[in-house]
Amino acid sequence: MCGIISYIGKQDALPILLDGLYRLEYRGYDSAGIAIIDHDGNVCHMRTAGRVDELANLLAAHPVQGSFGIAHTRWATHGAPSAANAHPHADCKNNVFVAHNGIVENHAKLRAALEREGHIFASETDSEVFAHLIERALGFLGNAGTLEDAVSEALRHVEGAYGIAVVSKKHPQKLVVARRSSPLLLGIGDNEFFAASDSSALLRHTRRIIYLDDNELGVLTPDGYEVRNIRHKPVPKQIELLTGSPEDMEKGGYDHFMEKEIHEAPDVLRNALRGRVLYEDGTAKLSALDASADKLSRINRIIFLSQGTSYYAGLAGKYMMEELAGVPSETLYASEFRYAPPPLNEQTLVVAISQSGETADTLEAVREAHRHHVPTLAIVNVVGSSIAREAGMGIYNYAGPEIGVASTKAFISQLAVLSLAAVWFGRQRNLSVLRGREILQELRQLPHKAEKILSNAARIRALADEYALYENFFFLGRKYNWPVALEGALKLKEISYTHAEGYASGEMKHGPIALVTSAFPSVVVAPSDSVYEKSVSNIHELKARGGKVIAVATEGNTEIVKIADHVMHIPRTQEILSPILTVIPLQLFAYFIAKKRGCDIDKPRNLAKSVTVE
Ligand code: M6R
């Protein structure tokens, strides 16, 4: 949520900062701004409502040359998206400039106190307090005070989450950054340094990075960097190497990142499985679990914690774990667990699922679990992210960067990893080697089966075109495909702004079916599985009430084509793995409806990729 990029070095800062903003735009895109200090010590401070393009247009008319500065792209929390509320924010005298991600929880109290002292605020944001707190601290510290000392002093007063980048006219050639519960990393170049909220903004410039931890400050000059804690003690940090290539951040010939990412499903599955299938033993090789096998053998309850699409993956994970390992499991929103945790003990395992690894609710839930001494396992895509680093054990998805705000390939990868984990837990308990092998064998077939579904994209597009003007949809599924129904509805609403409700099929007759008319179609996920007959009954019930039905069904099913109005096919697979395939037609369906409706698919309104505020 929101993106920060900052630069200090010998190059012109403007193109670097603008390029960084474009790369970070998926994190928030309602306003953007920049503060660059030029060679004469003047500040170019420019902000605008709207996208980074608008800022770039403004800057084209006012070129600035300076070799250090900060920039920000915003997802509004406090204060509407406007130029005045856009970052960076300045102090009263336009000396100090701050870009902030996160939420200052005690901002109202701080603002009132600062206003009583005579500070004049120019925005409605919580973030502006940083600029005035630093201004006040510089005043206390006098001429001997450094910018980093003033930032440390200011941070003592702040409650809440922050990743900040600070420059000051009075402290040329210095950039100070700090973090608490909001991601920030340093990029180490040759006599140039970067700080960003996400590695996507750094990949073009350097692969050498340092992850800041909570309550750490980075002090960057053109000659070097230092990391210290807020008590001014230097902290030795390890330089890590970014993997991936800048091309991963491009659309690769597709119209949208979402389309590209849906089409990456076969490779995503291969990457999730690579080196993890021990076919002969009918089990999975998951180093994190292998290393803690003893402790995990005592686990008698699993709680999956996540939000959004990752929450739906967790719902499927619960069924997998219960079926294969017999471990009672539940799936909770991390945001609820954080404030209403169920009774916990050391035989409970918390599994946090997150594409970004930065979702504030999920990160805080992991911390809550640790406060209860509960072991934690993270299933995370972004390497080095906060959840990956804080959880006790971790399994990476290796799905590559997901840029489209709507999560697609990450979901598929999460399901694959969850099925491997369920096989692993199952084999630790009573799952037979033969059953383990059956699942692994089928997992290995899934990349080809996903390719087959994707090769039918044109047919799904034609169907989507036919349905693009409907304003309401139900998505229904049972057992393993209930989470897929929820996910299909979420995809459609978030990118096409079409009202869609996901339900467990059995719940329909308990109320929602009252809404069904010929103008309210239902998408029923009904592969040939143990609950197929029940799904067919549900389709009849919808048809009897004049509802149109689009079914997702298994190839070769000649019955369902006679009952449903339309069918999207998937190849035959094991029930437990079916969500990995059934979701693909639903992702394509949502994508093509949004495209037909002319929506901004990769940057839907009101959303941001990584939700780093609670
Ligand atoms: O990065 P995470 O997986 O933790 O993100 C969780 C949700 O914010 C995310 O899945 C969100 O719901 C997406 N917009 C879904 O497409």
Q: What is the 3-state secondary structure (H, E, C) of 235-299?
A: CCCCCEECCCCHHHHCCCCCCCHHHHHHHCHHHHHHHHHCCCEECCCCEECCHHHHHCHHHHHCC
User: Ligand 1: which residue has its CA nearest to atom 8?
Assistant: 308
Structure tokens at 308: 């959004």
Asked whether the beta carbons of 237 and 219 are under 8 A apart, the reply is no
According to the model, what pLDDT value does residue 246 have? 79
- Could you write out the DSSP letters of every residue in 435-481? HHHHHHHHHHHHHHHHHHHHTTHHHHHHHHHHHTT--EEEEEE-GGG
- CA gap 218, 186 in Å, rounded: 8
Q: Which residues pair with 46 in a beta bridge?
A: 34
**Per-residue pLDDT tens for 559-568?**
999 999 999 9
386 CB less than 6 Å from ligand 1? no
According to the model, what pLDDT value does residue 62 have? 84
- Cis peptide bond prior to 88, omega within 30° of 0: yes
According to the model, what pLDDT value does residue 232 have? 87
Residue with tokens 């299938």: 277
334 CB less than 6 Å from ligand 1? no
Percent of all residues in the chain with a pLDDT value above 90, rounded to a whole number: 91
407 CB less than 6 Å from ligand 1? yes
**Per-residue pLDDT tens for 369-399?**
999 999 999 999 999 899 999 999 999 999 9
Mean of the pLDDT values across residues 571-592?
Answer: 98
According to the model, what pLDDT value does residue 247 have? 79
* pLDDT classification of 158: cutoffs 50, 70, 90: very high
Residue with tokens 């070095």: 9
According to the model, what pLDDT value does residue 484 have? 98
Burial 481-493 (b: 16+ CB within 10 A, else e): bbbbbbbbbbbbb
CA of 311 to the centre of ligand 1 (A): 8
CA of 416 to the centre of ligand 1 (A): 17
Q: Is the pLDDT of residue 63 over 90?
A: no
**Per-residue pLDDT tens for 420-476?**
999 999 999 999 999 999 999 999 999 999 999 999 999 999 999 999 999 999 999
According to the model, what pLDDT value does residue 139 have? 95
Q: Which of 258, 356, 408 to mutate to test the pocket of ligand 1 (most atoms within 8 A of CB)?
A: 356
365 CB less than 6 Å from ligand 1? no
Mean of the pLDDT values across residues 327-347?
Answer: 96
Q: Is the pLDDT of residue 608 over 90?
A: no
- Ligand 1 atom with minimal separation from the 387 CA: 4
- Ligand 1 atom with minimal separation from the 406 CA: 16
- Ligand 1 atom with minimal separation from the 410 CA: 3
Residue with tokens 């000392």: 149
Q: Is the pLDDT of residue 597 over 90?
A: yes
The mean-pLDDT minimum among 86-95, 159-168, 601-610 falls in: 601-610
How many CB atoms are located within 10 Å of the residue 16 CB?
22
Q: What is the mean pLDDT of the chain?
A: 96
According to the model, what pLDDT value does residue 77 have? 85
How many CB atoms are located within 10 Å of the residue 205 CB?
21
Q: Is the pLDDT of residue 133 over 90?
A: yes
Q: Which of 310, 362, 380 to mutate to test the pocket of ligand 1 (most atoms within 8 A of CB)?
A: 310
489 CB less than 6 Å from ligand 1? no
Q: Name 276's Cβ contacts closer than 8 Å, sequence gap at least 6.
A: 284, 285, 286, 420
308 CB less than 6 Å from ligand 1? yes
Asked whether the beta carbons of 188 and 202 are under 8 A apart, the reply is no
Percent of all residues in the chain with a pLDDT value above 70, rounded to a whole number: 100
355 CB less than 6 Å from ligand 1? yes
Would you state the CATH architecture of domain 250-453?
A: 3-Layer(aba) Sandwich (3.40)
Asked whether the beta carbons of 21 and 32 are under 8 A apart, the reply is yes
Would you state the CATH architecture of domain 456-601?
A: 3-Layer(aba) Sandwich (3.40)
- Ligand 1 atom with minimal separation from the 382 CA: 1
Residue with tokens 């209403």: 340
Using alpha carbons only, give the angle 358, 324, 523 rounded to the nearest 5 degrees: 65
Annotated catalytic sites, by residue? 2, 609
pTM for this one?
0.91
Asked whether the beta carbons of 500 and 473 are under 8 A apart, the reply is yes
Q: Which of 333, 356, 407 to mutate to test the pocket of ligand 1 (most atoms within 8 A of CB)?
A: 407
Burial 259-288 (b: 16+ CB within 10 A, else e): bbbbbbbbbbbebbbeebbbeeebbbebeb
Structure tokens at 105: 């929880």
CA of 65 to the centre of ligand 1 (A): 38
405 CB less than 6 Å from ligand 1? yes
For residue 136, how many C-alpha atoms fall within 13 Å in the half-sphere facing its CB?
21
CA of 83 to the centre of ligand 1 (A): 28
User: Ligand 1: which residue has its CA nearest to atom 4?
Assistant: 354
According to the model, what pLDDT value does residue 88 have? 98
According to the model, what pLDDT value does residue 279 have? 97
DSSP 234: B
Q: Is the pLDDT of residue 1 over 80?
A: no
CA of 231 to the centre of ligand 1 (A): 35
Mean of the pLDDT values across residues 18-36?
Answer: 92
CA of 358 to the centre of ligand 1 (A): 10
* pLDDT classification of 245: cutoffs 50, 70, 90: confident
- CA gap 494, 168 in Å, rounded: 40
- CA gap 417, 395 in Å, rounded: 8
CA of 122 to the centre of ligand 1 (A): 33
Q: Is the pLDDT of residue 38 over 80?
A: yes
- CA gap 472, 521 in Å, rounded: 7
335 CB less than 6 Å from ligand 1? no
Structure tokens at 133: 């707190």
CA of 359 to the centre of ligand 1 (A): 8
According to the model, what pLDDT value does residue 40 have? 86
Question: Range(s) for CATH 3.60.20.10 in the chain?
Answer: 2-248
Asked whether the beta carbons of 549 and 522 are under 8 A apart, the reply is yes
- Ligand 1 atom with minimal separation from the 610 CA: 1
Asked whether the beta carbons of 166 and 134 are under 8 A apart, the reply is yes
According to the model, what pLDDT value does residue 161 have? 93
> What does DSSP say about strands 224-229 and 216-221: parallel, antiparallel, or unpaired?
antiparallel
> What does DSSP say about strands 566-570 and 549-554: parallel, antiparallel, or unpaired?
parallel
Structure tokens at 526: 């009904």
- Which amino acid type is present at position 581? L
Report the CATH fold assignment for 2-248. Glutamine Phosphoribosylpyrophosphate, subunit 1, domain 1 (3.60.20)
Question: Range(s) for CATH 3.40.50.10490 in the chain?
Answer: 250-453, 456-601
**Per-residue pLDDT tens for 70-116?**
999 998 888 889 999 999 999 999 999 999 999 999 999 999 999 99
Residue with tokens 């973090």: 179
* pLDDT classification of 249: cutoffs 50, 70, 90: confident
